[in-house]
Amino acid sequence: MSEVLEVGISAELAQKIREHGVETYPYECCGALLGRDLGLTENAVADKKSHSVSREVLSLFPLVNRRDDSPRNRFSVTADDVRDAEKTASAQGLEVIGWYHSHPDHPARPSDYDRDHAWPWYSYIIVSVHTGVPQDMTSWRLKDDRSGFLEEKIAPMKVSAAN
């Protein structure tokens, strides 16, 4: 069975991620993606054997990069920040479905360091910011065997929940 990974996000929230990356440039920005995981849904397109694993980002929880020793190429979010993000999500009837961060002056592709510090299931959105200008935005999920990431499609959504 082929599987298409997909994360839905509104243009407005995607723009907020880009703006966060610009704001913190040349340092990395980071934050939590709050939303809903809709699980495995039958893909209504021609290939009936393919499925979409759909989830949607409905709110963002921007965080402070705790790495003051190397903020240009590293970000770190403490366990307390993670708990705050989970509480905020829960208060909105949502859950933390992933994380975003920027790659200043580097491509929007996960590094080995990203892989070593990731868990599966989460969506990891990366925005590339070159010379202060946002470029590509991609999203990734860690493979079950931790050998690398699978890229997931970023699907534009028209409506976002109140942020």
Partner 1 sequence: MSVKVMIPTPLRAYAGKRDSAEFSAATVGEALSGLTSQFAELRKHLYTEDGKLRAFVNVYLNDEDIRYLAKENTPTKDGDTISIIPSIAGGSFAR
Q: Which residues bind partner 1 (CB under 8 A)?
A: 28, 30, 32, 67, 70, 73-79, 81-83, 95-96, 99, 101, 103-106, 110-114, 117-122, 124, 144-146
CB of 90 to partner 1, least distance (A): 11
Whole-angstrom distance between the N-terminal and C-terminal Cα of the chain?
A: 36
CB of 106 to partner 1, least distance (A): 4
DSSP SS3 for 25: coil
CB of 152 to partner 1, least distance (A): 14
Q: Of the two residues 11 and 70, which places its CB atom closer to partner 1 in the complex?
A: 70
Token pair of 78 as six digits: 């403490």
DSSP annotation string for 102-140 = EEETS-SS--HHHHHT--SSSEEEEEEEETTEEEEEEEE
Q: Of the two residues 16 and 74, which places its CB atom closer to partner 1 in the complex?
A: 74
Q: Of the two residues 19 and 95, which places its CB atom closer to partner 1 in the complex?
A: 95
CB of 162 to partner 1, least distance (A): 23
Q: Of the two residues 47 and 113, which places its CB atom closer to partner 1 in the complex?
A: 113
Would the CA dihedral through 113, 104, 20, 13 be positive or negative? negative
What is the Cα–Cα distance from 49 to 44, expressed in whole angstroms? 10
Facing residues of 152 across strands?
A: 139
